[in-house]
Amino acid sequence: MTRRLLLSYLSLTLLVLLALEVPLGYFYARSQGFHFTGDQRHAAEILAGALEERVERGDTAGLRRAVGDFTEETASHVLVVDSAGRLLHDTRGTLPTGTDLSREPDIAGALRGRHTSRTGHSPVLSGEALTVTVPNSFGGTVRCAVRVSYPLAPMASRIHGTWTTLALIGLGVLVAVAAIALALARWVTRPVRDLERATAELADGGLTELPTTAKGPPELRRLASTLSRTATRLQHLLHAQRAFASEASHQLKTPLTALRLRLENFEPYLDPRAHDSLDEAVKEVERLGRMVHGLLALARLENSASTPEATDLDTVVADRAATWVAFAAEHHVGIAATGEQAGAVWAIPGALEQIIDNLLSNALRVSPPGSTITLARTVTRDGSGRPVVELHVMDQGPGMTEAERARAFDRFWRAADSHHDGTGLGLPIVQQLTRAGGGDVVLGTAPGGGLDAVVRLRPVREHRTGAGRGQRPAARKATAGVS
């Protein structure tokens, strides 16, 4: 922002300078040309008048002295011709005396009483020159004509000097404006950077230092003050919510455990016909405990803002499949990991383990004996052409209808014909964990009619082979297995 403000100030200043200095320099150069032409024509006319008497008397020596004094003062080249156009004197000696110049246009015009002037290259002066040809006429009779060539280099030097001066003035103004604009831009953007830092820290879940309210423009100071009050309030609410989740986690476990023990202690004293009802009550207490556990897990996920890290999906899939093989074998269900090597993907620490555990737990509940749960990895592209890594967890159970799949991620929702004791929080936890890493999860139909849970993850585009391997595995959170 500082650079943009600085560039805007400098651009505006440069535009103003160009609008002022370019016309000024142009009109100065044009004015110098007009004045130079007029002055030199007047000087040539004065010289022609001074030579009239010498030409009439045939005073060649006096003519040469007068012309010599003039050329020494003006550094010009002078030709003097008589009324017939014959050369009387050439200051540079380029033409012999007596040369007939009456046919040259400017000489012929001067002999008829006309004044002419032109600019162009002069071989005698070796550069650009202004050539003025004037007659000396008195009473309508032309007695002589004078051609004077003035070098334009002095005038061009003055014009160039003026342009240089204007450029230096403009540069000095730009430097001064840049220094002032830089100080002003920093004064304006310093509180903006402070606000940006504060909002970034607040988005990450904790604000270590409130933005300053004593620097910058009044509008930004008021904004910083408002943000400080908002951040303080939000931090207070976040701390209170986290404290509630933490305390509730401990406070609810104890009475639920005690209630379960009391119910189990009733068993010896109950009529055998009431044992089934007691078992159902114990199962409901256990389900209530899992539900409280799942709610607290979701609260912790929503209250925390972890930064995604590169995690090797292949290593995690192999590890979780090996862990669940023995447990699945007790239910006579197989687990197979297939597909191509996916490499590293973005995920918050420990999330992939929890996602796979929850999906395997749900799949195992509905898988019939003798079936297989498949963990398949594919690399594809989304609608915009970006690469996406997909992890498919497919079972051979009854599957879900399209309407059921649309509601499966709602909290506490369970299928109407569900016969297991799930809480309806496993898939919401999977969705929360996946989206925290920048991915998503959808449900589809597996080949054969089962459920296909597709976890879509962002790959790490530029990583070395084995990126994510060797990292310290994050501790598995207690959310695994919640359905």
| CA–CA distance, 117 with 130 (Å, rounded to integer) | 7
| HSE of 24, CA atoms in CB hemisphere, 13 A | 14
Most trustworthy range by pLDDT among 181-190, 198-207, 291-300, 324-333: 324-333
Q: Which of 393, 394, 389 is nearest to 468 (CA)?
A: 389
Q: Over the stretch 340-376, which tens digit does the pLDDT of each residue have?
A: 888 899 888 878 888 888 889 888 888 899 999 999 9
In this structure, what token pair is assigned to residue 392? Answer: 């498919």
**pTM of the predicted model as reported, rounded to 2 decimal places:** 0.47
Confidence at residue 120, expressed as pLDDT on a 0 to 100 scale:
87
pLDDT at 418: 55
Identify the residue whose tokens are 């990126």: 467
Burial 54-65 (b: 16+ CB within 10 A, else e): bbeeeeeeebee
Q: Phi/psi at 247 (nearest 5 deg)?
A: -70, -40
- Convert the pLDDT of each residue in 434-453 to its tens digit: 888 888 999 988 888 889 99
Pick the more confident residue, 330 or 283. 330
Q: Which of 119-128, 164-173, 408-417 has the lowest mean pLDDT?
A: 408-417
CB proximity list for 394: less than 8 A, separation 6 or greater: 363, 373, 374, 376, 446, 447, 450, 451, 452, 453
Average pLDDT over residues 25-45: 87
In this prediction, residue 467 carries a pLDDT of 37
What is the number of alpha carbons within 13 Å of residue 308 lying toward its C-beta? Answer: 19
Quickly tell me which residue has 């130079």 as its tokens. 36
412: left (phi over 0), alpha (psi -120 to 50) or beta: left
pLDDT band for position 301 (50/70/90)? low
Confidence at 468, pLDDT banded by 50, 70, 90: very low
- Using CB atoms within 10 A of its CB, is residue 306 exposed (0-12), middle (13-18) or buried (19+)? middle
Residue 132: pLDDT band (50, 70, 90) is very high
Q: Check residues 285 and 369 and name the one with the higher pLDDT.
A: 369
Residue 367 DSSP label: P
480 pLDDT higher than 70: no
Per the structure block, which two tokens stand in for 106?
């400017």
